[in-house]
Structure 1
Amino acid sequence: MSIYEHFRPDERPLIDHFLDLKDQVLDHYVPKLTDFLDPRQQTILKSVIGSEDAIQLSVFGGYNQAERTRAQLLPPYSESGENPFDLAYMEVRYPAKFGSVSHPQLLGALIGTGISRNKIGDLLIDGSRAQFICSKELESYFMLHLTSVGRMKVNCVPIDHEALLHSDDEWQMHEGTVSSLRLDTVLSEIYRLPRAKASEAISKGLAKVNWEMIEKRDYAIGEGDCISLRGFGRSRIISAGGLTKKNKIRVQYGTLK
């Protein structure tokens, strides 16, 4: 069975990229570092590498609970150097007495500088403080080009890892069954909604998968996917597989309010 059969058709280019990285590590004995990967992409990478003993695979996104991480692929007996994941920690400073900075606003401002999302890790917002993690090579770029978020004038400065805001998110784990892995069916199970209401929410643009709005009710959900429904919080698919006696699919998922 081809590895492609386990994933969505639109994920094939990503699988090809990971296979190419794997070959470079094995054939040329060189380490490789990925861009930032969301949880679904991390799941795909781990499946591509599989149980390949000749490759050391590790992931890190700046702190232990990071959702978006970079992955390092090392040949056997290789050792990581200092800051092996090549991360920079940035703080966005602004006059909090005049307003606040939200996650969507900060993400929009970062991408608005012309940098791809895959070069940016987690965004951490806590009251009057806003931080983000990015590739080290972009540290000076953001210091120069990130001058506003929304209508707020800001300064972007590097900070030490120790000054990073850590997420204390606690996922509540659940198990359930679904008739299929369609988005509307999975939303119905996770958020205890009638399927018709879940479908309506999707058509209204209220559902996101891996931080992207999805308006297809039959969109296929897989392991590692992060799902959010406006007004209901976020969730993550931990595992999906195995059938009950009634031919329903067993799913394990975490929810976060």
Structure 2
Amino acid sequence: MELYQHFRKEEHPFIDQVLEWKEMVSRQYAPKLTDFLDPREQQIVQSIAGGAEDVRAFFFGGAPFVERKRVFLAPPYIDPEEEDYGIVLFAVRYPAKFVSLEHRDVLGALMSLGLRRGKFGDILIRDGEIQFFVAAEVADYVRLHVETIGKAPVALEPLPLSAAMPLAETWEEGTVTVSSLRLDAVLAQAFRLAREKARALVESGLVKVNWKVVDKPDFLCGPGDVLSARGFGRCKLFSVEGMTKKERWRIRLGRQK
């Protein structure tokens, strides 16, 4: 099928899923609500269903500025309301004076519940305040079972979606040198890993570039690329500033706070 030629092999199962959703909506004249999708998955949905005459795709993640969104696929005569997306916003109440929690602590606690990542939207952290979006169908379960994050006791308080904290992307930036612009080299420098460890992460399919899995260590990175490694977080290659006298690349990297 010509459609598959435009996507990586590991994306084909998701493409099949989107085609199934599209066919179901078209055949049954009934809407379909997806889990939270990352930007790459949203791009795939848009490319497959976005231009269809009999199915329309709407995207919402709880607030205008979020990255992860649920998709509402619907026949042409249906326009979704905010509540149709089934999204709940929780604030995390914890002793912030005594404990510092990071994005990975919150995500780790949520994933330990045994739910799919797709049931959770963006995690918002600013000045010690923490909020996160969750699919309404699992919100009660999450609220009941999340009692600690890290070593801190927590309570989850539902908030209206309008109370979501707007966030600007925050990065710890710095200029470093790398032997090459290969993915494994940039990754090793960004997360302070041995080159062999970075290469193993890439080859294991645990690394994404611009939300797309890349399993080739020799993939060449460029300015603007967003890299993520499962368990290590996210970094961004802001600029390539040239070569040093020792023939190493000088780059400006940012690591997401």
Amino acid aligned to 2:68: R
Matches of 1:46 and 1:26 in 2, distance apart? 16
2:78 aligns with 78
1:24 aligns with 24
> Is the alpha carbon distance of 1:235 and 1:90 closer, same or farther for their aligned partners in structure 2, counting shifts above 3 Å?
farther
Matches of 1:134 and 1:49 in 2, distance apart? 24
1:13 aligns with 13
- CA displacement at 1:197 relative to structure 2: 6.5
- Unaligned runs of 5+ residues in structure 2 are 188-194, 239-253
- State yes or no: 1:55 paired with 2:40: no
- Post-superposition Cα deviations, 1:168-218, rounded to whole Å, max 9, x if no partner, equal 3399xxxxxxxxxxxxxxxxxxx9955267533444438842679966414
% identical aligned pairs: 36
- What are the within-5 Å matches in structure 2 for residues 94-109 of structure 1? 94-109=94-109
Matches of 1:19 and 1:232 in 2, distance apart? 30
Q: Provide the secondary structure at the position in 1 that maps to 2:41.
A: helix
Across the two proteins, how many residue pairs are aligned to each other?
Answer: 217
2:44 aligns with 44
- What are the within-5 Å matches in structure 2 for residues 30-179 of structure 1? 30-81=30-81, 83-169=83-169
Amino acid aligned to 1:234: K
1:200 aligns with 185
> Is the alpha carbon distance of 1:77 and 1:197 closer, same or farther for their aligned partners in structure 2, counting shifts above 3 Å?
closer
Q: Which moved more, 1:197-206 or 1:113-122?
A: 197-206
Query: Is the Cα contact below 8 Å between 1:86 and 1:136 reproduced in 2?
Result: yes
- CA displacement at 1:140 relative to structure 2: 1.2
- Unaligned runs of 5+ residues in structure 1 are 172-190, 237-254
Query: Is the Cα contact below 8 Å between 1:8 and 1:220 reproduced in 2?
Result: no
- What are the within-5 Å matches in structure 2 for residues 221-232 of structure 1? 226-228=226-228
Matches of 1:20 and 1:143 in 2, distance apart? 32
1:2 aligns with 2
- CA displacement at 1:81 relative to structure 2: 4.2
- Post-superposition Cα deviations, 1:103-124, rounded to whole Å, max 9, x if no partner, equal 0010000001111101100000
Q: Provide the secondary structure at the position in 2 that maps to 1:41.
A: helix
Matches of 2:135 and 2:212 in 1, distance apart? 22
- CA displacement at 1:2 relative to structure 2: 1.4
Query: Is the Cα contact below 8 Å between 1:72 and 1:85 reproduced in 2?
Result: yes
Amino acid aligned to 2:91: E
CA RMSD, aligned part only?
3.3
Alignment TM-score, normalising by the size of structure 2:
0.73
Matches of 1:231 and 1:157 in 2, distance apart? 26
> Is the alpha carbon distance of 1:218 and 1:198 closer, same or farther for their aligned partners in structure 2, counting shifts above 3 Å?
closer
- Aligned equivalent of 1:234, options 233, 236, 241: 236
